[in-house]
């Protein structure tokens, strides 16, 4: 009998291939990028944008929980959140676990990513798409932050793709400056900050730029099975004088119980995992 799950799809990065075998559900060119959704036996449905793996049903929690919880659990109360990217809904889903949230603005450049995620990655977005607190804006993230008033958001979460023609603005000094301006003085900023192994140069640039703009930064390292080299990073930043990144949210136990990967111990380990070579190169301060 014909086996449908026979197509290998690889992310090819630096002469290495990171691939999985499955059945192609979607392969299309949107206005911005090529979108592939692959149905796999071990990872559920997986999303690839312009040749790079973004997420899959079975490994997304390694990524989304590490982006959201170190940031949000550090605050007693968070009302207004900005998510840039995040068109699969996973980041918004994790945010909506916090009780005080009044509004999330999700800025995604490609409406096809949202439409296809609603249809094929249902378990990632869960119920977020019908939550009245979620406001979706289809536009470029850099344009959005430029037009936002100062001192507006309690948290800003950058859930973007790797730098590319249209995503590179989200890794610029100009973008980080705008984020620092529109975040409240005690607000917290978080971004996926690429891999210290397979995207080392980009990783170092992100960390050095954030250090220039924000008073405090900390980077967590963990793994995302689908991403090139497996090891990944998330960087948190604030302009608040107090040390952030300890859990202060009142109902933290409920958040821990709802997570598959994140807990307070996991977080404190992840924040101490900076590889020595990265520590050394950061101090040399290349932008
Ligand atoms: N190399 C992949 C980097 C992708 C980061 N964003 C993923 C989107 C998941 N919400």
281 in ligand 1 pocket by Cβ < 6 Å?
no
- Going from the Cα of 178 to the center of ligand 1, the distance in angstroms, rounded, reads 22
> How does pLDDT run across 149-179, given as a tens digit for each residue?
999 999 999 999 988 777 788 999 999 999 9
- Going from the Cα of 241 to the center of ligand 1, the distance in angstroms, rounded, reads 30
Q: Which of 37, 48, 40 is nearest to 20 (CA)?
A: 40
110 in ligand 1 pocket by Cβ < 6 Å?
no
**Nearest residue CA, atom 7 of ligand 1?**
54
> How does pLDDT run across 218-234, given as a tens digit for each residue?
999 999 998 999 999 99
- Going from the Cα of 50 to the center of ligand 1, the distance in angstroms, rounded, reads 12
Average of per-residue pLDDT across 258-283? 95
> How does pLDDT run across 40-88, given as a tens digit for each residue?
999 999 999 999 999 999 999 999 999 999 999 999 989 999 999 999 9
148 in ligand 1 pocket by Cβ < 6 Å?
no
pLDDT of 1 strictly over 60: no
**Nearest residue CA, atom 8 of ligand 1?**
54
233 in ligand 1 pocket by Cβ < 6 Å?
no
For 133-160, the DSSP string reads TEEEEES-HHHHHHHSPSS-EEEEEEE-
**What values do phi and psi take at 132, rounded to 5?**
-65, -20
> How does pLDDT run across 177-217, given as a tens digit for each residue?
999 999 999 999 999 999 999 999 999 999 999 999 999 99
54 in ligand 1 pocket by Cβ < 6 Å?
yes
CA distance 118 to 131: 13
**What values do phi and psi take at 219, rounded to 5?**
-115, 135
- Is residue 159 annotated as part of the catalytic site, yes or no? yes
88 in ligand 1 pocket by Cβ < 6 Å?
yes
pTM recorded for the entire structure: 0.96
pLDDT of 243 strictly over 90: no
Share of the chain above pLDDT 90, in %: 90
Q: How confident is the model at residue 2 (pLDDT cuts 50, 70, 90)?
A: low
**What values do phi and psi take at 182, rounded to 5?**
-90, -5
- Going from the Cα of 159 to the center of ligand 1, the distance in angstroms, rounded, reads 6
Give the per-residue pLDDT at 96.
98
Task: Return mean pLDDT, the chain.
Answer: 95
């Amino acid at each position: 009998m014909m086996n449908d799950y026979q197509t290998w799809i690889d992310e090819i990065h630096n002469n290495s291939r990171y691939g999985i075998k499955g059945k192609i559900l979607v392969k299309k060119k949107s206005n911005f990028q090529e979108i592939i959704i692959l149905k796999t036996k071990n990872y559920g449905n997986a999303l690839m944008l312009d040749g790079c793996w973004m997420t899959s049903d079975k490994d997304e929690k390694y990524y989304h929980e590490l982006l959201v919880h170190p940031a949000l659990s550090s605050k007693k109360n968070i009302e207004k959140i900005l998510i840039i990217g995040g068109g699969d809904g996973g980041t918004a889903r994790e945010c909506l676990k916090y009780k005080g949230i009044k509004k999330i603005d999700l800025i995604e450049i490609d409406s096809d990513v949202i439409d296809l995620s609603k249809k094929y990655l249902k378990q990632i977005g869960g119920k977020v798409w019908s939550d009245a607190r979620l406001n979706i804006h289809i536009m470029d993230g850099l344009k959005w932050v430029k037009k936002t008033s100062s001192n507006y958001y309690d948290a800003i979460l950058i859930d973007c793709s790797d730098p590319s023609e249209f995503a590179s603005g989200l890794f610029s000094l100009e973008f980080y400056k705008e984020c620092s301006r529109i975040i409240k003085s005690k607000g917290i900023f978080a971004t996926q900050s690429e891999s210290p192994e397979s995207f080392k140069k980009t990783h170092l640039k992100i960390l050095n730029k954030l250090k220039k703009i924000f008073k405090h930064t900390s980077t967590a390292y963990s793994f995302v099975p689908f991403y090139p080299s497996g090891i990944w990073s998330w960087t948190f930043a604030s302009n608040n004088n107090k040390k952030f990144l300890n859990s202060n949210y009142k109902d933290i136990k409920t958040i821990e119980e709802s997570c598959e990967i994140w807990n307070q111990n996991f977080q404190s380990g992840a924040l101490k995992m900076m590889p020595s070579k990265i520590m050394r190169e950061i101090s040399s301060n290349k932008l």
